Amino acid sequence: MDKKEFILDWIRHAKSDLNTARHMFEDVYPKETEISAWHSQQCAEKALKAFLVANDIDPPKIHNLDELDKLCQNIDAGFSEIWGDCQKLNPYGSAVRYPNELVVDEAIVQAAIKRAQKVYDFCVSRINLLPQEETKA
């Protein structure tokens, strides 16, 4: 697989997580708040890793969005703009997967999905070799 295809794979997976977060929150009853929050975090993680791959960095096998965003900031200081969003999404990577660890209500999930969209859009905008139609979420 060439570099562009590998980057597009990361983006496709990020987009899939974002779409799943929305679907589980908007179309399923009762709303699946925990899984929607988790997929929101996953979207951001994969978008950040796509940016790293686009810049010839093998993304570390971590889930910490703060650390991933800092790696991206080392390449592009503009990533400081989404650092707060990454911080807010970070707990949804693990805590929501276990009972009684983290309670997420509908307002929290709506905000998480918006943050994931923002991180996704930001990362994709910084990966210049991608055609817009392949990355729209």
The amino acid that residue 59 corresponds to is P
Alpha-carbon span 57 to 75, nearest angstrom = 10
The fold adopted by the segment(s) 3-127 is Four Helix Bundle (Hemerythrin (Met), subunit A) (1.20.120)
pLDDT in tens, 47-59: 999 999 999 999 9
The pTM assigned to this predicted structure is: 0.92
- Residue 94, pLDDT score: 86
- Each domain of the chain, given as residue ranges in start order, spans 3-127
Sequence-ordered list of residues with C-beta below 8 angstroms from that of 66, at least 6 positions apart, any chain: 83, 86, 87, 90
Work out the number of other CB atoms within 10 angstroms of the CB of residue 126.
Answer: 18
Share above pLDDT 90 across residues of the chain, in percent, rounded to a whole number: 82
Q: pLDDT tens digits, residue range 2-30? A: 989 999 999 999 999 999 999 999 999 99
Q: Which residue has the tokens 């925990």?
A: 34
pLDDT of residue 130: 53
Mean pLDDT of 104-108: 95
Select the more confidently predicted residue: 132 or 58. 58
